[in-house]
Chains A and B, each alone.
Chain A
Amino acid sequence: MNAQNSRWKRQKSLKKAVRFALALLLTAFFLAPVYWIFITALKSPEEIFAVPAVWFPEQLHFENFTSMFSAGELKPIFNSLLVATFSTLLALAVGTLAAYSLARYRTGGRALAVWIISLRMLPPIALAFPLFLFFAMLGWVDTYHGLILLYAAINLPYVIWVMRGFVEDVPLELEESAAIDGASRWQILWYVVFPLVRMGMLATGVFAFIYAMNEFAFAVVLTRVDVLTFTVKISHYFGNQTTSWAWIAGLAVLGSLPVFIAVLVMQRYLVRGMSMGAIKG
């Protein structure tokens, strides 16, 4: 009996060890290209083009970043952060209001809800093309307010959809008792609902921010010089003859780090955020 038990235990721990090894292997595969572009940013020029490839440089070089900074090549990072931040704030404000209306009054019914989320899934380039002509007419091409407004609009369906779920989680009794105490709709929204959905707004905002940081199709069409975002700037470094890998890697690192940090901080909301609120996880 005892011998059997210990054999069973050994088998179980062996299985666990195999699973752990598999998990390690998978993580290595999924992280390898990320590691590679990060380490490339920290290599010396000779190491970047060394054959055979250098996996672990002897020392880390930060010259790429300083030379990019002094050449003014880091402005796209600033642009991306600025546009992503302000468009996210705008989308959160406008979107949470709309989500409340949809959640509590079912305004527009199912048709409106479906139309809203379907907008998030249309091909950006098919929308960007007429918008470019429109923006050109208004003189909004390559302006901060143009891109901020557009990114807010493109993130809005997502924000409305996810925030609708967070609003539905607020116990209705709280709102009702506030209403009985004579609070107006706006007061209920501000004093009862907002404090309860704050974390939800933060999580939703993080995902909207990530989307705006990573966006490319609208930015490549609607920016030229002043508002160039880091994703578009990266595409400019691909040359016919030479590709500036050091600078591509540098921008990739600086543009990805804020996103990585945001994800690690918001890990609790990953599932809910990525499933557009469908899984409450």
Chain B
Amino acid sequence: MKNGRLNRTLIRNNMKSSTGGGAGDRRFQYLALSPAIVLLLLIGAFPVIYNLVLSFQSQTMLDPDTSFAGLANYQELLSDNRFWGAISHTLIIAGFALPVQLVLGLLMAHLFVGELPGKRLFIALLILPVVIAPVVAGAAWRLFLDNSFGPVNAIISWFAGGPVKLLWTVDPTLVYPTIIIVEVWQHTPFVFLLSLAALLAVDRSQVEAAQIDGASGWTVFWWITLPAIMPVLGMVMLIRFIDIMRIFEMVLSLTEGGPGTRTETLSLYTYTTGFKDFSLSYTGAIAFVTIIMMSVVLWVILGRMERGR
């Protein structure tokens, strides 16, 4: 790792000396970057600042009151049960879906490490749920689980020997299992694909040496394979966690946040306050808090990963 960094510095110095370095090079360096920066400020700086400004006012769509309102919105946020509910709903989904995805994805990857007829075709087909639009995934499952004409209830009825009508997307006891199943279904192949790549890159000679020394399958996995694939697993977990924290349209098309607000996630709540209730300033406060929370987590973790490059 250290070496890699040293090399890059060397490379950079080399480049500079071979082109004479100097002002022309520096101008190029920033000129090449500047169009990107302009576009990035549109999503990276403007919304953050505008959310902050809004949050200190008390604007609604009907009442453009831009006078300074202090921390009123943030105070309201602290005692807003729906806001805290939305955060905990999102965390519940992450807390269940993430471990299941991880374990299932790893197991699947394990299955595909050796030779298998039609391996490439299997992988190509397995990956399709990942690239489907989340709104389509939600719609497909809502249709799949429909209480009267969906095939899942038909299969369950067949096993039960009588008509079973489970209300997967409405019944309060079933909505979370449903959302978690769909989330696991859609993104386990993502974990699978990257874990498989990591497993295939594990040094075989180390594994074989341990096996010759009489290490059991579990010992080899725990002490050699797992540490070797840990960087990839860490990144996979980060991507999945962040993605679930902003889960939106899949839930919208499955349960619409219901019954009531039982499955309302953070993104769904933000959307409702902004575009159904039109409380602009309050939404600004929610959005600002969300962005800051996520950014801090991201900067810490990504900063550490980038240092390891």
Which residues of A does B touch, CB under 8 Å? 16, 19-20, 22-23, 26-27, 29-34, 36-37, 40, 48-53, 55, 94-95, 97-98, 100-102, 104-108, 110, 113-119, 121-127, 129-134, 149-150, 152-154, 156-157, 160, 172, 175-176, 179-180, 185-186, 189, 210, 213-214, 216-217, 220-221, 231, 234-235, 238, 245, 248-249, 252, 255-256, 259-260, 263-264, 267, 270-271, 274-276, 278-279, 281
CB of B19 within 8 Å of the partner chain = yes
Besides A123-B267, A130-B50, A216-B248, 12 other A-B contacts (C-beta < 8 A): A33-B140, A37-B143, A119-B40, A124-B248, A126-B270, A150-B42, A153-B40, A172-B15, A179-B18, A180-B18, A252-B140, A260-B131
CB of B116 within 8 Å of the partner chain = yes
- Bound CA–CA A238/B136 (angstroms): 12
| Pair A107/B15 contact, Cβ less than 8 Å | no
CB of B2 within 8 Å of the partner chain = no
Contact of B197 among A22, A110, A271 (CB under 8 A): A271
- Bound CA–CA A108/B26 (angstroms): 12
CB of B23 within 8 Å of the partner chain = no
User: In the complex, what's the smallest C-beta–C-beta distance from B256 to chain A, in angstroms?
Assistant: 8
CB of B51 within 8 Å of the partner chain = yes
Which residues of B does A touch, CB under 8 Å? 8, 11-12, 14-15, 18-19, 24-25, 28-30, 32-33, 35-37, 39-40, 42-44, 46-47, 50-51, 54, 108, 111-112, 114-117, 120, 122-137, 139-141, 143-144, 148-151, 154, 157, 185, 188-190, 193-194, 197-198, 201, 232, 235, 239, 242-243, 245-246, 248-249, 252-253, 256, 266-267, 270-271, 274-275, 280, 283-284, 286-288, 290-291, 294-295, 298-299, 302-303, 306-307
Which residues of chain B are near A119, meaning CB under 8 Å?
A: 40, 43-44
- Bound CA–CA A27/B150 (angstroms): 20
Contact of B149 among A50, A133, A216, A252 (CB under 8 A): A50
| Pair A186/B270 contact, Cβ less than 8 Å | no
| Pair A235/B253 contact, Cβ less than 8 Å | yes
| Pair A217/B194 contact, Cβ less than 8 Å | no
Q: A34-B132, A37-B139, A185-B19 are in contact. Are A123 and B111 (CB under 8 A)?
A: no
Which residues of chain B are near A179, meaning CB under 8 Å?
A: 15, 18-19
Q: A123-B245, A131-B46 are in contact. Are A235 and B252 (CB under 8 A)?
A: yes
| Pair B298/A121 contact, Cβ less than 8 Å | yes
Q: Show 24 residue pairs from A and B whose CB-CB distance is below 8 angstroms, ordered by the A residue.
A: A53-B149, A94-B35, A97-B36, A101-B32, A106-B12, A114-B306, A123-B245, A123-B248, A127-B47, A152-B39, A156-B39, A172-B15, A189-B32, A214-B132, A214-B134, A214-B135, A220-B249, A221-B271, A238-B253, A238-B256, A259-B132, A263-B131, A271-B194, A279-B232
| Pair A123/B270 contact, Cβ less than 8 Å | yes
Contact of A36 among B30, B32, B140 (CB under 8 A): B140
- Bound CA–CA A43/B171 (angstroms): 28
User: In the complex, what's the smallest C-beta–C-beta distance from A267 to chain B, in angstroms?
Assistant: 6
| Pair B197/A279 contact, Cβ less than 8 Å | yes
Nearest-neighbor residue (CB-CB) of A172 within chain B? B11
- Bound CA–CA A34/B54 (angstroms): 42
| Pair A234/B135 contact, Cβ less than 8 Å | yes
| Pair B139/A51 contact, Cβ less than 8 Å | no
Closest 4 CB pairs of A and B: A98-B36, A214-B133, A123-B246, A126-B287
| Pair A55/B151 contact, Cβ less than 8 Å | yes
Nearest-neighbor residue (CB-CB) of B236 within chain A? A275
| Pair B51/A129 contact, Cβ less than 8 Å | yes
- Bound CA–CA A130/B39 (angstroms): 16
- Bound CA–CA A213/B275 (angstroms): 23
Nearest-neighbor residue (CB-CB) of A124 within chain B? B246
Nearest-neighbor residue (CB-CB) of B252 within chain A? A235
| Pair B30/A107 contact, Cβ less than 8 Å | yes
Contact of A30 among B15, B185, B291 (CB under 8 A): B185
- Bound CA–CA A183/B267 (angstroms): 50
User: In the complex, what's the smallest C-beta–C-beta distance from A262 to chain B, in angstroms?
Assistant: 8
Nearest-neighbor residue (CB-CB) of B139 within chain A? A248
| Pair B12/A125 contact, Cβ less than 8 Å | no
